[in-house]
Chains A and B, each alone.
Chain A
């Protein structure tokens, strides 16, 4: 009996994913009123950094190797989403220690250089895990952007990418829980649950613990049929699998 995938457009998926991974925790923080008192730049900066961090566990969910999602979406759409969000996350999270220092350029007090040096030379567990996550994240981004230049076969690179992402998640979580300004007990629980879910996705993929029947092609949705016909789409043509 052929399996009929539920109707879910790409837009629906993106909206739901953003709502679950980023919308929910950020909304909770806003309701709790944890953003108060600092200047507008620092509050907006915090909000963006928190949203970026909330999307990190999501990256473990919307990747083409997730065998559940291709029932709803095409692998290439997922790969593109994973790449765009991943690039944004790496850029935002890697730049956040520098963006934090930006206001110091315009006010009296410690200079940005001095503040940066003090920050990275303080032997605090949260700072150390932050530096390690920064290095891992930069490596993760670098090896993803310049994958074609690396002397690695695709499957080896994919495993390396997964291991690096997993380490970023662990070290990042430590950094967030130790130094996050907006951490409340409930937010801690939410972040830990998200991280566990992401780790579960990863482990499941690595060890193929719950193998799914690999779905065939998605039938084109009604709205797309005409467009596909116009583009001369061949249903029997084999699609590139899971590679991005």
Chain B
């Protein structure tokens, strides 16, 4: 699981929409929750689409972003 911590969440749901594998959900408390951690692909999309940078990704569980040449 790439996500280390979710703090300062405003419950906008952007991360839920951006996650390709449906790992996140908005919980009963109106904040993002990790529901299926085993599905996480370490893609960072949830972090990049969070408007308030509430998601912290564990650096040890990150895979480098590969950019193609040419």
A interface residue numbers (CB < 8 A to B): 36-38, 42, 100-101, 103, 107-110, 114-116, 118-119, 122, 124, 126-127, 179-182
Contacts and interface: CB of A to CB of B under 8 A. Distances in A.
30 contacts: A37-B4, A37-B5, A37-B56, A37-B57, A37-B59, A38-B56, A42-B53, A100-B52, A107-B48, A109-B45, A109-B47, A109-B49, A110-B48, A110-B49, A110-B51, A116-B51, A118-B12, A118-B14, A118-B51, A119-B10, A119-B52, A122-B11, A124-B12, A124-B30, A126-B10, A179-B8, A179-B10, A180-B8, A181-B54, A182-B7
B50 A110 contact: yes
Give me the 7 closest cross-chain CB pairs, A-B, nearest first.
Answer: A109-B48, A115-B51, A37-B56, A181-B8, A181-B7, A118-B51, A122-B12
Contact of B58 (A37, A109, A127): A37
Contacts, number: 53
A101 B58 CA distance: 21
Given A37-B5, A38-B56, A110 B11 contact: no
- The dominant DSSP class at the B interface is loop
Given A37-B58, A122-B10, 11 more contacts: A42-B53, A100-B52, A103-B53, A110-B14, A110-B51, A115-B51, A119-B52, A124-B10, A126-B10, A181-B7, A181-B8
A119 B12 contact: yes
Contact of A119 (B7, B49, B51): B51
B49 to A, nearest CB: 5
Contacts of A118: 12, 14, 51
B37 to A, nearest CB: 17
Q: Which of B10, B48, B50, B57 has the most CB of A within 10 A?
A: B10
A177 to B, nearest CB: 12
Choose among B45, B50, B58 the residue with the greatest number of A CB atoms under 10 Å from its CB: B50
Contacts of A110: 14, 48-51
A155 to B, nearest CB: 40
A108 B47 CA distance: 10
